[in-house]
Amino acid sequence: MKEKKTMVRESGGRKFGITAKVVVILLVISLVTIGSMAVLNLYAFKSMGDMTKKDTQSLFRRQTKEHLERIVTDKTTLCENDLEEIKDLVYAEEAFALELFYNGTDHKYIEQTLDTQYSAQPDDPVPANAPSDFQYSEKFQRMLSLKYLAIKPAPGINLTYDQNDKLFSPDPEVNKTLHTFSQMISLFRSTSGEHSTIKWVYIGTPAGLHFSYPGHGPYGESYDCRLRGWYKRANESGEFGWSDPYVDASGQGLMITASKPVYDSNNKLLGVVAADVTIETINNELISLDSGESGYTYLIDSEGAVISKPEYEAGDVRWDNLYPLAWRHNTSNEELNNITKKMMRGESGSAIITLDGEKKYIVFAPIKSVGWSLAAVLPEKEALGEVIEIEKEIDNNMDTQINSIIVVTIVMTIIVIICGIVFGGTLTKPIIKLTDTAKAMSEGNLDVKTDVVYSGDEIGDLAKSFDTMNLSLRKSYETLEEKIRDRTNELSEE
C-alpha cells in the first residue's frame, strides 16, 4: 500500500510580512477615505469661491447700472430744469422786446455804452473813458460792466455821440432800433444774475445792432450779428431753438445759444433775442460725474451731433469760422452707432460696449424738452475694481483653506500610518508567536507554550487551541513513551 505524501510548497521568499500587509491595507483604505474627503472639500471650496465671485460680479454690475441710471436721471432732470429756465428767459426777452417796441420811452437807460474793443483781461490797460464799474468778474472770467450794455454795430453802420453824449445814428431806422432796444438792459440786469449757467443775454436786430449784457468786449471788426448761426437759425425757422456749438466772438470758447425771433403784429422781424451757455459750463455744472470717477458724460442732439463732451474745446478755430462738429452715429464702432441711433430716437437704455479698446458701461436717457440725449460712460474695470479686490481676497482665503486641507490630509495620513503600524503590530504579534510555537512544535519541542494572552477574540481562541493541542500531543507522547518502556521491560524479562 502506497503511502500518501503531503506536498508542502514553500514560497520563494517572504516579500511582505503580515504586519506590512495589514498596514498597507489600512493605509489604502484610510488614504482613499481621506483623499476622497479632501477632493470633495477642495471641490466644494472652489465651487463656493467661483459662485461667490460670480454673484459678486453680478451684484456689482447691477449696482453699477443702477448707479449710472440714477446719475443720468438726475443729470437729465437738472438739464431739463435749467434749459427750461433759459427758455423761459428767452421768452421773457421776447415779451419785453415787444413791450419796448410798442410802448417804449426815450432811451433813458443809455447812460454810457462800452467801447466794443475794450480788452477782456485784468492786466490789460483800462481805457480812460471806461465806466466806473468796469472790473474783473470771476463768473465771466473777464473784465466787464454790470451797469452798461455793449452795443456792437455791424460793419458799415456808424454810431456817434450827440451834444448830450448820447449814442446816436444818422440813419433813422438804426437810431429807432438803438433807442428802443438799448432799454433791454433793465430786463437783462434783473435776470442775468439769476441764472448761473448763462453767460450773455442779448438781442440782435435786422438793423445790424447787437445789444449784449453784461457790457463786455472785444468784438472783431467784422462781427455782424445777422451772420451768426444763432441769428440765422431763429430767422429761418421762425421759432425757439438751440444752435450748434460754435466759437464765441468775445473769447468765451465753445458756446451754444438759445434764441427766438421777435415779430411785430405784421409778422415783421424786429430782432432775435438770445441767451448763451458755454460748453464748459454744461460740462462742469450740468452733466459732470462725481469727482473721483474716471467716466464721463456727453450730450448729443437729435441728429447725432455732439453738443457737449469732455475736452470739447474751440482749439484753433476762429470765432468767424464754422466749428467742425463731432458725430456719434457714423463712427467705425457699430456698437456705439447702435446706441447713438437709440439716443437720436429719444430712447432710454443701457449696455456694455467696447469703446476705446476697453469694455465700458453706457447708460443714456433723453432730455425731451430740447430733443437732446445724455449718456454716461464708465469703464468696466473701474466699476469692478472693488470686485477684483474682493476676488483676490476670496482667492487668498481659498488658498488658505486649500493649504489647510492639504496639511490636515498629510497629518491624518501620518497618523494613519503610525496607527497602522501600532495596530498592525498589536494584531500580528500573537500570530507571529503562534507561528514560532508551531515551528518549534514541528521540530519536536512540545514544551513550548504560545505565551499569548487569551484575549477572548479569534486569536485568543487560536492560541488556546494551540496550547490545548500542544498539551494533548505532550500527553500522547508521554503515554507512548510509557508504553514503549513497559514493552521494553516485558521483552527484557522474557
Going 244 to 247 to 249 to 253, the CA torsion angle's sign is: positive
Cβ proximity of 395 and 402 under 8 Å: no
Burial of 41 (0-12, 13-18, 19+ CB in 10 A): middle
Within 217-313, residue ranges assigned H as helices are 229-237, 279-281
pLDDT of the chain, 494 residues: tens digit per residue = 444 444 444 444 455 566 666 667 767 777 777 777 777 777 776 777 677 767 666 777 777 778 788 888 888 898 899 999 999 999 999 999 999 999 865 434 344 444 444 555 556 666 656 667 778 887 777 778 888 888 889 999 988 877 777 778 888 899 889 888 988 988 898 887 777 788 889 999 999 999 999 887 777 788 899 999 999 999 999 999 998 888 877 777 788 899 999 999 999 999 999 999 888 888 888 888 764 567 888 888 888 888 887 776 666 655 555 555 666 666 788 888 899 999 999 999 988 888 888 888 889 999 988 889 999 888 877 766 565 666 677 667 767 777 777 787 788 778 877 877 777 667 667 777 777 777 777 777 766 666 666 566 666 677 777 777 777 777 777 787 777 877 777 777 76
How far, in Å, CA of 190 to CA of 392, rounded? 59
pTM attached to this predicted model: 0.67
Return the CATH number of 287-383, one of 3.30.450.20, 2.40.50.100, 3.40.50.970, 2.40.40.20.
3.30.450.20
Domain spans in the chain, listed from the N-terminal domain onward: 104-278, 287-383
What is the residue type of 224? D
Q: Which of 310, 309, 295 is nearest to 380 (CA)?
A: 295
CA 18, 23, 27: angle at the middle one, nearest 5?
150
Answer yes or no: same fold for 104-278 and 287-383. yes
Burial of 85 (0-12, 13-18, 19+ CB in 10 A): middle
DSSP string, 47-73: HHHHHHHHHHHHHHHHHHHHHHHHHHH
CA 191, 318, 245: angle at the middle one, nearest 5?
50
Burial of 94 (0-12, 13-18, 19+ CB in 10 A): buried
Fold for the domain defined by 104-278: Beta-Lactamase (3.30.450)
Identify the DSSP state of 283. I
For residue 54, what are the contacts with CB-CB under 8 A and spacing of at least 6? none
CA 46, 52, 57: angle at the middle one, nearest 5?
130
What is the C-alpha end-to-end distance of the chain, expressed in Å?
33
How far, in Å, CA of 89 to CA of 96, rounded? 10
Cβ proximity of 216 and 154 under 8 Å: no
How far, in Å, CA of 23 to CA of 417, rounded? 7
- HSE (CB half, 13 Å, CA atoms) of 465? 9
